[in-house]
Every structure is written in structure tokens, then in C-alpha cells.
Amino acid sequence: MEVTKGDKVFNLKTIQIQAKCSDMCSCELIDSNGKTIIESNDYSPNFLGGGDYISLDIDADTGEIKGWVNKKENIQDYINSREENLDEEDEEDEEEE
């Protein structure tokens, strides 16, 4: 993608995004029918960087995330860990009642 800065022309290849979420990363996985599979509002998922950080390199020409390969294993681990957390929260709620 060709961009200009002042009178100089550059061939932009990558948009690099580095963000610190500080335990406030909102992530929602949505199925093909538009229904939420799982959502969270805490650490960023490992498939996006993990912990407090998100790290993405975007191809400026295609808009695709560079280096994104089938992250199914990482995404499945994320879903499984969220389900465990949700089960624990349900158990705690039942104990309080």
C-alpha cells in the first residue's frame, strides 16, 4: 500500500499493533449464526498475545493478520479454560446460597 508522509512516498507493508489491556481485554468468540460461544473480560487470550498484552501484525494490503495460522488448538484451550472458570464461578455462587 502506497502512503505519503509530507513529500515522501512509502510502501507500507505492516501495521503493528501492541496494546496493554491491564486485565481489561474483552474477547468474544461468535459462531456462524451470530451467537456467542464464549466471552471474557480479563486477560488477553494467548492466541492474541496473552496476559496484559495484545500483539498483532496486520498486512497493509490484505488487512489480514500476518503469521496467523490455524490457531484452533490455542483457541480450543482458551474455550476450555473459560468453561472451567465459569464452572468454578457457578460452584462458588451455589455455595454462597
Q: What is the pLDDT along the chain (97 residues), one digit of tens a residue?
A: 999 999 999 999 999 999 998 878 888 999 999 999 988 888 888 888 788 888 889 999 999 999 887 777 888 888 888 776 655 555 555 566 5
- Tally of structural domains, the chain: 1
Its pTM surpasses 0.75: no
| pLDDT for residue 57 | 93
Query: What local confidence, expressed as pLDDT, does residue 90 receive?
Result: 52
What DSSP string runs through the chain?
Answer: -EEEETTEEEE--EEEEEEE-TT-EEEEEE-TTS-EEEEEEESBPGGGT-BTEEEEEEETTT-PBTT----HHHHHHHHHHHHHHHHHHHHHHHHH-
Q: Could you list the residue range(s) of the whole structural domain that residue 6 is in?
A: 2-96
